[in-house]
Structure 1
């Protein structure tokens, strides 16, 4: 919609009402601020929720792979043949044997439930970028050394070089009953994955040491799989599911964490709908301010019509005046949203310092920091939605102004 110099001059004049129209200006200003806050809230909340999902997925998938092949009863027979078959499957980039077993660990009189993971050396090195203390290279078969999560080390009061005792209830049988198996392991490294449940429970050791601890011999419990595309992991592993039917269970990350990610998806849609109402309320403010402006300018409209202004010109003037309020509010909202996202962690710490309350509890939120990931397509959708609603709000007042009859208005002037 291209405006002539005359139309643009009048539109600018109406966007900046005079002293006698301060109330109209105040309503228009409130409309702009409301659009700004609505757009900013949508950008911030949707980016944080996207970041939460992405970070959660990256950390879970990064540690556990995209899928696992798990034997019935925690034992995978003929796992060497299964491992070879999995590695030869098109679309599979990595497959590694894995032992994972919940046990108990003690240190200095403290007892904690732990999840013992037995990995190959190359899989242990995948924790290198998450290692905060110690040396992962020290985890060699037979060295009796382990890596533990940062929260677990903190809860037990253990440090690098301390020895923790891991208890396996399935120990050796004696005339007096089964004696639990207890083995001491030196803490060689402390890692922090960023997911509270993992950091407070995981104990990583070489797979040979895990087999010795659990008395499984050469057997393993599962095979960890990584594929080229996590979103198509089901289609990639479909042939393996068919061949292993009755021998093992093939579970991908979508199945394992289905309840969590489905809840996030539902919450994401609900938050978008709820926050969109803020923009809708702001749009009604634009509508009301334009209606008041049209009523205040009825005489001016009639004079412009008698001077040759067309209905189309009057329509364009008021559509422009209202639409620019929405456009300026949208632009300011984007700027405010991006600034808030850039300083989100500082803002959380500031509020915590002022209130004395912990806003981001890792034990509840899964992640240790507030994540954010902005989706350009989503931001574009928010902008288009705000602009379209702003445009629609201008139509009724603009058509009302364009239909003004100058004869009726000026009859008694």
Structure 2
């Protein structure tokens, strides 16, 4: 089968090496570095993708994506909700109320965030929904742990933003609630969130139980809030989730980018090893290169030998790294459980660390590795192409 001479020679050196030469050792070390870098980058990005996805699904599942509010309230809120639901990208609209509260149990006092649950809204883990007029609470597991509350316990809720007049003077509005469920929200909301019935929370704020002055808009893509800035009519206010949690998600994204940059340094070191290995190969094979040039091989063909060898190292290292990364991520939680570092040990639950492999991301990693390995070959390849056969072949050993 016909093969170009440059490809044949590059493949021979790449696969067979130099039989124990130091340049071959450096080349193998470079291949190991590329493989290790791609594998670690694949594993870390897959785990961080899982964390990011979990935060999006569990945190933004309880936080309103958009809030449309009117100080005068909505006399016909179903009509306004229908108009909002007709917008492309809007999946649901429901009345909403929330507020910052203080919760007091016999064991202490904690600040929290109290949401009013509309009857059609879902709850995590299919928890029992609070019923109107019963003053019932669903607590995040972290908040319940801080207050040492169990299902059936009674907790007093204070509204610092609203006060009432009593014979003892002006006091914060307050009410006793019964805990009916404790849920795991798999996010920082576990430590602050409490949920009660929509009508009960309206009463606690001194508002009409059936009134509506805020509408919660749920989007198919919570990160596309900028495209819905036109939803508010004159006299309405528009709020999106980024006002409360935008900085948090920005910090997560920044951490992901920083980790990626640090791990890319492993691949960069491997690329320098490829450069060093090819530079030593050029020095060691000066006579062979001179012979090829004297037999008619052009400088471009000589360059292709070394570029092909470097690119081949990148392709082989990427393939091995991605394969090992896939195996590691596939069995990551099993391996962590075997050494006692599983998800339960670090609070991730029995399902373990979340892992999401993105094919496009993996493809970009492989492409980046091949490109950086190709760039590392340019200097040695240029040096090889400049070798003068007349000078080299007349040199004495």
Could you tell me how far apart the structure 2 residues matched to 1:239 and 1:120 are?
A: 22
Q: 1:318 to 1:181 in 2, by over 3 A?
A: closer
Find the counterpart in structure 2 of residue 318 from structure 1. Answer: 306
Q: For residue 290 of structure 1, report the CA deviation from its aligned partner.
A: 0.4
The Cα offsets for residues 122-169 of structure 1, whole Å up to 9 and x where unpaired, read as: 11xx114x34xxx515x2212333211111222222222233332345
Aligned to 1:238, the other structure's residue is in SS state: coil
Q: 2:132 aligns with which of 126, 141, 159?
A: 141
Could you tell me how far apart the structure 2 residues matched to 1:412 and 1:167 are?
A: 93
* Contact 2:117 2:196 (8 Å CA) reproduced: yes
The Cα offsets for residues 18-50 of structure 1, whole Å up to 9 and x where unpaired, read as: 34x531122111211222233234333444444
Q: For residue 285 of structure 1, report the CA deviation from its aligned partner.
A: 1.1
Find the counterpart in structure 1 of residue 180 from structure 2. Answer: 188
The Cα offsets for residues 328-348 of structure 1, whole Å up to 9 and x where unpaired, read as: 112222223333433445566
Find the counterpart in structure 2 of residue 399 from structure 1. Answer: 382
Q: For residue 293 of structure 1, report the CA deviation from its aligned partner.
A: 0.7
Q: 1:3 to 1:63 in 2, by over 3 A?
A: farther
Q: How large is the Cα RMSD of the aligned pairs?
A: 3.3
Q: 2:123 aligns with which of 113, 127, 135?
A: 127
Aligned to 2:175, the other structure's residue is in SS state: strand
After superposition, residues 185-334 of structure 1 pair within 5 angstroms as 185-196=177-188, 198-218=189-209, 219=211, 222-240=214-232, 242-244=233-235, 248-307=236-295, 309-334=297-322
Q: How many residues get paired?
A: 387
After superposition, residues 5-404 of structure 1 pair within 5 angstroms as 7-15=6-14, 16-19=16-19, 21-70=20-69, 76-81=71-76, 84-89=79-84, 90-91=86-87, 92-123=90-121, 126-128=122-124, 130-131=125-126, 135-137=127-129, 139-168=130-159, 170=162, 172-196=164-188, 198-218=189-209, 219=211, 222-240=214-232, 242-244=233-235, 248-307=236-295, 309-345=297-333, 353=341, 370-404=353-387
* Contact 2:73 2:214 (8 Å CA) reproduced: no
More helix per residue: 1
- When normalised by structure 2's length, the TM-score is 0.84
Aligned to 2:378, the other structure's residue is in SS state: helix
Aligned to 2:327, the other structure's residue is in SS state: helix
* Contact 2:100 2:159 (8 Å CA) reproduced: no
Could you tell me how far apart the structure 2 residues matched to 1:179 and 1:7 are?
A: 87
The Cα offsets for residues 155-206 of structure 1, whole Å up to 9 and x where unpaired, read as: 222222233332345464223213555433332222111112x112222121
Could you tell me how far apart the structure 2 residues matched to 1:269 and 1:8 are?
A: 37
* Contact 2:107 2:148 (8 Å CA) reproduced: no
Unaligned runs of 5+ in 2: none
Could you tell me how far apart the structure 1 residues matched to 2:204 and 2:41 are?
A: 51
Q: For residue 296 of structure 1, report the CA deviation from its aligned partner.
A: 0.9
Unaligned runs of 5+ in 1: 363-367
* Contact 1:136 1:188 (8 Å CA) reproduced: yes
